[in-house]
Structure 1
Amino acid sequence: MTVKILQFGTTGQLGVELLRQAPAHDVAITALGRGDCDLADPAAAARKVEELRPDVVVIAAAYTAVDLAESEQDAAHAVNAATPGAIAAAAAKVGAALINVSTDYVFDGEGGAPYAEDAATNPLNTYGRTKLEGEKAVAAANPRSLSIRTSWVVSPHGKNFVKTMLRVAAAGNPLKVVDDQSGRPTSAADLAGFILGLAETLAAAPAGDRRFGIVHFANDGEVTWRDFAVEIFRQALGDAAPEVGAQKTADYVTPAKRPLRATMDLTRLNRDFGVSPRAWQTALKDIIAELKAAD
């Protein structure tokens, strides 16, 4: 059965990867970008779902400007919470399953990691708070929904830590990266593959299926931002890799507070979905290779 997917988001890292990988799966994706649907308008997004009547809806777009969200809280709430809730309700109305992408920022990083899906949440910033509100709105509106929490998403596309580090290194400026925040990097390609591989199962699954609810997805292994940068340079630049200095989060003041260790536990991913993600270092090799090939 070819699964009809309605995808919100086309230009972000995940949106790009979903579209790139779709031909390898038995799916037909209708993807809506900013010009097709304003995610700040919950009613408009819901109408798209009711008009197109997909089997599965994937929300691959969000308000992700973590620092800017502190001064644009209403906009962040609309895109991350109100609209996902409206989309979920519309999906339930037409009999569609829903996949919502969330974040490790729902945790404060102070309670002892790794965090399981049922661990206490306590977001430290507006982005995390609105994404948690979105999770709750989605679950309340559609019992056939899955929120996938992920972290530190990277790819050869868009804006992300890998591309930023390589750009800064190319400029020849001194480098300092925080070394007291740790987490799990996630390949957007691996996350997209997981989502597309689930589409047929979720399209047919009844409410109450164990795969609905919340699951954590990231690549295997935990690392600090500084050590992540060191590995990026090792793989991409070899002997030309620059020195990476260390700094503390407290010395790098930003509008939004970040959790120091919001690392997610992946036990449920393996137990209920049969997925054991590859190491983040291995995923990074593919990203570096694609970036080099594009030069």
Structure 2
Amino acid sequence: MAPPSSPTPGLRRGAWLIVLLALAAMLAALGALAWRQLDAARQAQARSAAADRQRLEALEERVDALRRDVRAHTARMQQGEATQRLLREEVIGLGQRAALLEQSVQRLANPELDAARALRLDEIELLLSQGQQRLLLSGDADGARRAYALAATLLEGVPDPGWLDLRQALAQERAALDALGDDPRAVAAGRLDAVAAALPSLPREPAAEPAPASWWERMMGGLVEVRPSSQALALDPADRAAGLAALQLELTLAQGAIARGDREGLRAALDRVEGWMLRLWPASPARERQREALRALRGQPLSPQLPTLGSTLEQLRRQRGPG
């Protein structure tokens, strides 16, 4: 009996080709399935991120709305507090006016009070005018305060409620006058006195050592001495005495300008004082400090800065009318 014949090589190769094609198809199917799953996961993640962004934006919008509400409530509360404070002040003012009106009804029944009130208003006007002139002409802040205090005492005795606004204006002007600092003229005079007191202690010798002289300067030094004209000092005793007398005169003129309130005259006198300082004392840190003090003194005001000064007097004259 003959043995069975083996498959031909062509059939074996076809079988292996079919198997490889089947494996390739399976791998392609698996890859497509994995890609679809990965794409679905990415889309789901993108949708989740978009939803998170929407929720975050909505949350931020709610927070902004809450902040706007808080600001609006705060503004309404502040406005309410301001309104309550204004109403409280108006109620207090109305109470004061009602009390003054009641007093005026009780006191003005006597016709003799009209002449007494006119005389008292004349005294008040005189005191206010004196206080204003004391402050402007002589810088006497204490005298002005005393005059205004007497005027306020007299004004309290005027029973007419129509003068309540004048009382309030006088109270404001007195408060500004009490807050006023020292007399500017006294401050300027004190600073000038400090400079004048420091001048005698300035060093009379140059602070820095001169540079070594050259051979020709040493040879000619016994015959000729050369100094720059800008640094010429009054070394001769007679010249120095005359310079000190002129400096003292300029300091006196500066004090007079301060007493008069003459700012231009003060600046001119201080310029001359500085010129004599340069002639009488050599350059030194102490001299420069005194020059800086003089420059600061040039800008010192010589009259009190009180914008409300005289406002009560003007209101009193307007309220009393002509005559």
Q: How would you bin the TM-score normalised by the shorter chain?
A: under 0.3
Instruction: Report the TM-score when normalising by structure 2.
Output: 0.18
* CA radius of gyration, larger in: 2
More helix by share: 2
